Amino acid sequence: MGKKFLRFEFLLLFAVFIIATCGLIYELVAGTLASYLLGDSVKQFSFIIGVYLFSMGIGSFFSKFFNKNLLNTFVEIEILVGLIGGLSSVVLFLLFESVGSFQFILYLFVFVTGFLVGLEIPLLMNILKDRVEFKDLVSNVFTFDYIGALLASILFPLVLVPKLGIMGTSLFFGMINVSIAIALCFLLKRELKKPSLLRAKAIFSFVLLLVFFIFSNDILAYSEGKLYGENIIYTNSTPYQRIVLTHNKSDYRLYLNNNLQFSSADEYRYHEALVHPAMSMAKSVENVLVLGGGDGLAVREILKYKDVKKVTLVDLDEGMTKLFKTNSVLTNFNQNSLNNPKVTVINTDAYIWAKNNKEKYDVAIIDFPDPSNYSLGKLYSLNFYQTIKTILKPNAAVVIQTTSPYFAPKSFWCINKTVMQVFPQVDAYHVYVPSFGEWGYTIAINGFRTTFNTVNRKADGLKFYNYQFDRFNYFTNDMISNQIEINRLDNQILVRYFDEEWGKLQ
Amino acid sequence: MIRLLGTKHLLGHRLWIKDFPKPTKQIQIPYLIVGGGISGLSAARQFHKKGISDFLIVELENHLGGNSSNGENKYSKYPLGAHYLPLPNFQDKELLQFLEEEKIILKYDEKGFPVFDELQLTFAPDERLFYKNNWQEGVVPKEGNLISDDLEFEKFFKKMDVFRTAKGEDQKYLFDIPLHLSSKDEKTRALDKITMKQWFTDNHFTSEPLYNYIDYCCKDDFGLGIEYVSAWAGIHYFAGRKQDSTPEKHDSVLTWPEGNSCLANHLKKYTKDKSLKNHLVYEVKVENNKVIAKAFDDVNKTSVEIIANKVIMASPQFVNQYLINDRKAFTKDFHYTPWLLATLVVNDLFDNFSFPLSWDNVIYDAKGLGYVYDQHQTVNQVQDKKVITYYYSFSSADLKKTRKELYKKDKEYWKQFVLNDLKVAHPDIEEYTEDVEVFLLGHGMISPAPGFIFGEAKKQAKQNIQNKIYFAHSDLSGISIFEEAFHQGINVVNEIVDGTTVDS
């Protein structure tokens, strides 16, 4: 009898140890998730520990209302803690974006887990009180409780999160928790009432957790998209870049190699400012050239002018232009501009194309990615602009997206100064695009027969640009930079400026 | 795929036994140029400038260009020898003139500085060095040096700055290009008697990174490393180029995917319908006031006799000794370093991304001189495959022995040799390499060992024979660079036409 009793006691004490470990793990998972998703880790951890301990107190308080079937209750609570604690991170990850009251759910989970763990210790002491001397009981229960806590807090940051991830950790400990319940069902089947029902509940919970554990990476991948605040609705890796389209409420965003290309909410500001000044100043707009701009949004703006007879768009990436010719969400944005009969799309290297091209254009819209590497830097070089000049008609207008004059003033004025070496009239202007920040352009005229303040034509229905160019070419002191070198292929100074300026922000 | 190519050394070796058929054809021409390298081509250009068009240029290979030749594959052209020209010295008006003719210099700015074509100047980033497991910008070891190394580098470059601008009592630069313009200052010329290593030690330098850097530079220009090269030549590498043709004092270079073959091609236009390729000249002698040259036609396997008034031997002296009598005695002092070039087509060039792929990519303490990225001078955004050319010079005390060994090894050996040398910086390169072309140059370039540049052998080899046979080749200057060969060609024609001579 004595031996058997010893086993009974140790089994329950081992259960205490596991409960304590798991309980603390759930608390740490909640704290980590909260600081990960909501930020401010000091606040999150502090609140969660507080709520957890408080709810344990509440649980302890309510334990006195349990009088019957204590052992059954204990095992059931064990299953429940495993299930709720184990699934907590999955639920929190998935709900993060779609539920406004995320914090409420988070603290509800912490509270419930804390409450259940709080119930268990007094319950256990009640079960054992008649079998063990009180002094031993208290000392043993709390010893195991605190050892479990230490083990959890050491394992969590050093082993569990690096190896299993947050979601994997909580599911794994959920399974441990439930397997203790299963073990108790088998070992104490004589002491338990309806042990088979209890066993079935426990095994079902275990399987559920196991399934989630196996698929935890997929769940994470799915929820990661939400984590960035947006649903990823399309991804495609072309030989040149990774295209990611996301959707959130009414806003669509396109990322190229993880850089935001446009947000549907405010791209009209960027594209109206890119296209309309040049289109209104140019002597003629019959033949328009677009370099880059495979999304067709600049072309959409260009086609607002009736005088336009021909638009040639040169973009390296066929994957990009194809997407914007065929995807119905996207053709909705560019108003199907790339399928317009006036538009010719050429997928080739713009620099090489410009060198070999014989045709001459009235307007050139140059919308390349920022000069973040030496390859892209070539498309902002003196020789490149000299090449462009050879394919422009006299008095043609050319506009170049010139990165942000606020974040990268040296880069901005470097491009501007380089263009100045080539064209007789050069100016710069900027607009505020909320999703980008302050953004700028360099504009040039290939002759003297028109000026920056000339408005030769207007398009109807613009939301942003009002054809008053002189409202946009004033720069405050924080957007000015002097002592800038010209960007040439043999110095690529722009890439250095750009790296220096944007590098600071990262 | 591996291919093993090289200059036509087997045909050349037939000069030892001269088992050529008797001439069956005769050509009469006033001026004959033997050798279609830069000296010969430059002579052709100078003839043209002097209004002389009745000349013939004879070349052993199937193309003109000599060391300034190139290969080409599906993805890129690539050099088979010389691959760049440093910005010329501002005083070198002949060279500036040539570069202006060929639109490499586009114009002169308001201050009188030449404006070079942006597309022909090395694009940025131009150089990187794999040092202490990281790529860093430039070929001078910087990140990871001891403070004492940095101080020695500083001291060394200061000395070179002094040498660069210093002039002798004769008001000539101590070190100039072409070399014969340099001052006769005795103290400076004495540097030709010791090795660069000796100079390094004499000047109390001890830094290992500095030693390696100078060794790299010497091999780069002369094929010979710091242990074997003359100190005068070693210093000339740093001090000969005045870096004074741009306002920014650039030390940049002009380069092309095909290397100096681009410059050779500019010069080739003066030889249109005036060249005989695949012809090995095997005998040259003065007879009845004429020069008789016999050449073997390697395509038709016949020989031809060329009768000329004057002949320019724009061929190296190790060849001339077999064509003309009584030259072996001084020719033995001419040493030529063998070179190996390997052009690789790679799917990718993974490295640790610490500094981006540059034009010149040097691996510190490697066997070779690193590699050139052949597509660097293109304006494309992307390349399907990358083409790189690896350079290796066989610097040793006994170049003859080295040369013999060079031809013994098979292509598999050289492929593995090259890949192993590159693996230091690109561990996966073997996996990504789909084609290797190894090109051997048995006599890659003249090697300025101590005593050669200002020695007797060179002086004797230069002497014309009865005002009939003239000599022009970079080995007669002592260093194998484009500028020397270019001036050799000009000067020899001036000597023939105007009777002017260049002292040295």
Structural domain span for residue A421: 267-505
Tell me: the pLDDT tens digits for A86-139? 888 888 777 765 555 677 888 888 999 899 988 888 888 888 777 777 787 788
Q: Is A271 annotated as a binding residue?
A: yes
Which of A174, A200, A227 lies at the terminal end of a domain, its last residue? A227
If you measure CA to CA, which chain B residue comes closest to A383?
A: B118
A229 falls in which pLDDT band (50, 70, 90)? Answer: low
Q: Identify whether A478 is a catalytic site residue.
A: no
Nearest CA to CA, how far is A381 from chain B (Å)? 9
pTM score? 0.77
Report the distance separating Cα A464 and Cα A69, nearest Å.
Answer: 73
Note the pLDDT of residue B502. Answer: 64
Chain A CB within 8 Å of residue B379 CB? yes
- B356 and A373 within 8 Å at the Cβ level: the answer is yes
Residue pair B276/B295 in contact (Cβ under 8 Å)? The answer is yes
Chain A CB within 8 Å of residue B387 CB? no
Note the pLDDT of residue A1. Answer: 40
DSSP 3-state helix, strand, coil percentages of chain B (rounded to 5)? 35, 25, 40
Chain A CB within 8 Å of residue B115 CB? no
When scoring A381, A489, A493 by the number of chain B Cβ atoms within 10 A, the one with the most, hence best to mutate, is A489
Overall number of domains in chain A:
2
- Is the peptide bond preceding residue B114 cis, with omega within 30 degrees of 0? no
Evaluate whether residue A368 is within a structural domain: yes
Q: Is A460 annotated as a binding residue?
A: no
Show Cβ contacts of residue A235 under 8 Å, excluding neighbours closer than 6 positions: A242, A243, A244, A245
For residues A326 and A215, membership in a common domain is answered with no
Chain B CB within 8 Å of residue A280 CB? no
A316 interaction partners in chain B (CB closer than 8 Å): 381-382
- A378 and B126 within 8 Å at the Cβ level: the answer is no
B118 interaction partners in chain A (CB closer than 8 Å): 381-383, 488-490
Residue in the structure block whose two tokens are 């336009």: A308
Tell me: the pLDDT tens digits for A401-442? 999 999 999 999 999 999 999 999 999 999 999 999 999 999
For residues A175 and A279, membership in a common domain is answered with no
From the candidates A266, A362, A367, A427, which is the catalytic residue?
Answer: A367
A297 falls in which pLDDT band (50, 70, 90)? Answer: very high
Evaluate whether residue A247 is within a structural domain: no
For residues A347 and A407, membership in a common domain is answered with yes
Report the distance separating Cα A28 and Cα A31, nearest Å.
Answer: 5
Which of A179, A210, A227 lies at the terminal end of a domain, its last residue? A227
**Cα atoms in the Cβ-side hemisphere of radius 13 Å centred on A359:** 12
Note the pLDDT of residue A22. Answer: 87
B382 interaction partners in chain A (CB closer than 8 Å): 239-240, 316, 349, 375
Evaluate whether residue A19 is within a structural domain: yes
A378 interaction partners in chain B (CB closer than 8 Å): 123, 379, 381
Count of A-B CB contacts under 8 Å? 55
Chain A CB within 8 Å of residue B182 CB? no
**Which of B123, B124, B379 has the CB atom closest to A351's CB atom?**
B379
Q: Is A350 annotated as a binding residue?
A: yes
- B356 and A355 within 8 Å at the Cβ level: the answer is no
Evaluate whether residue A244 is within a structural domain: no
Q: What letter would DSSP give residue A63?
A: G
Note the pLDDT of residue A442. Answer: 98
Report the distance separating Cα B57 and Cα B277, nearest Å.
Answer: 8
For residues A223 and A276, membership in a common domain is answered with no
Evaluate whether residue A242 is within a structural domain: no
A491 interaction partners in chain B (CB closer than 8 Å): 124
Q: Is A397 annotated as a binding residue?
A: no
Phi, psi of B210 (to 5 degrees): -65, -45
Chain A CB within 8 Å of residue B360 CB? no
Q: Is A499 annotated as a binding residue?
A: no
A489 interaction partners in chain B (CB closer than 8 Å): 118-119, 121, 123-124, 379
By CB atoms closer than 10 A (0-12, 13-18, 19+), residue B405 is: exposed
The b-or-e profile of A60-97 (16+ CB within 10 A means b, else e) is beebeeeeeeebbbbbbbbbbbbbbbbbbbbebbbebb
When scoring B103, B123, B377 by the number of chain A Cβ atoms within 10 A, the one with the most, hence best to mutate, is B123
- A383 and B126 within 8 Å at the Cβ level: the answer is no
- A381 and B125 within 8 Å at the Cβ level: the answer is no
- B379 and A495 within 8 Å at the Cβ level: the answer is no
Chain B CB within 8 Å of residue A355 CB? yes
- A491 and B382 within 8 Å at the Cβ level: the answer is no
- A352 and B121 within 8 Å at the Cβ level: the answer is no
For residues A222 and A282, membership in a common domain is answered with no
The answer on pLDDT for A479 being more than 70 is yes
**The pair of three-digit structure tokens given for residue A427, joined into one six-digit string:** 């100016």
Chain B CB within 8 Å of residue A290 CB? no
Collapsed DSSP state (helix, strand, coil) of residue A103: helix
**Which of B123, B124, B382 has the CB atom closest to A240's CB atom?**
B382
Evaluate whether residue A239 is within a structural domain: no
Nearest CA to CA, how far is A96 from chain B (Å)? 36
Collapsed DSSP state (helix, strand, coil) of residue B49: helix
For residues A301 and A374, membership in a common domain is answered with yes
- B121 and A316 within 8 Å at the Cβ level: the answer is no
For residues A280 and A139, membership in a common domain is answered with no
Note the pLDDT of residue A220. Answer: 67
Chain B CB within 8 Å of residue A373 CB? yes
Evaluate whether residue A205 is within a structural domain: yes
When scoring A387, A490, A491 by the number of chain B Cβ atoms within 10 A, the one with the most, hence best to mutate, is A490
Q: What is the CATH number of the domain that holds A58?
A: 1.20.1250.20
Chain A CB within 8 Å of residue B118 CB? yes
Note the pLDDT of residue A251. Answer: 82
Residue pair A284/A393 in contact (Cβ under 8 Å)? The answer is yes
The answer on pLDDT for A226 being more than 80 is no
Chain A CB within 8 Å of residue B245 CB? no
Report the distance separating Cα B419 and Cα B390, nearest Å.
Answer: 10
- B123 and A378 within 8 Å at the Cβ level: the answer is yes
Strand pairing category for A425-433 and A437-445: antiparallel
A418 interaction partners in chain B (CB closer than 8 Å): none
Chain A CB within 8 Å of residue B195 CB? no
Report the distance separating Cα A314 and Cα A320, nearest Å.
Answer: 11
**Which of A349, A374, A376 has the CB atom closest to B124's CB atom?**
A374
Nearest to residue A182, comparing CAs of A285, A83, A296? A83
Nearest CA to CA, how far is B118 from chain A (Å)? 6
For residues A45 and A120, membership in a common domain is answered with yes
The answer on pLDDT for A446 being more than 60 is yes
The interface residues of chain A toward chain B in range 375-414, judged by CB-CB distance below 8 A, are 375-379, 381-384
Q: Is A362 annotated as a binding residue?
A: no
Note the pLDDT of residue A130. Answer: 74
For residues A202 and A57, membership in a common domain is answered with yes
Q: How many residues does chain A have?
A: 506
For residues A206 and A278, membership in a common domain is answered with no
Chain B CB within 8 Å of residue A492 CB? yes
Note the pLDDT of residue B201. Answer: 97
Note the pLDDT of residue A225. Answer: 57
For residues A444 and A359, membership in a common domain is answered with yes
Evaluate whether residue A490 is within a structural domain: yes
For residues A215 and A328, membership in a common domain is answered with no
Report the distance separating Cα A483 and Cα A492, nearest Å.
Answer: 16
Q: What is the CATH number of the domain that holds A402?
A: 3.40.50.150
Look up the ipTM and state it: 0.88
Beta strands in B169-257 (DSSP E): 253-255
Divide the 504 residues of chain B into consecutive groups of 10 and give the mean pLDDT of each group: 78 87 96 97 98 96 95 95 95 97 96 95 95 94 94 97 96 96 96 97 97 95 94 96 85 94 97 95 95 96 96 96 95 94 93 89 95 96 94 88 88 94 94 94 92 96 96 96 97 91 58
If you measure CA to CA, which chain B residue comes closest to A240?
A: B382
Nearest CA to CA, how far is A241 from chain B (Å)? 11
Alpha helix (H) ranges present in B269-379?
317-323, 328-331
Note the pLDDT of residue B153. Answer: 97
Note the pLDDT of residue A228. Answer: 52
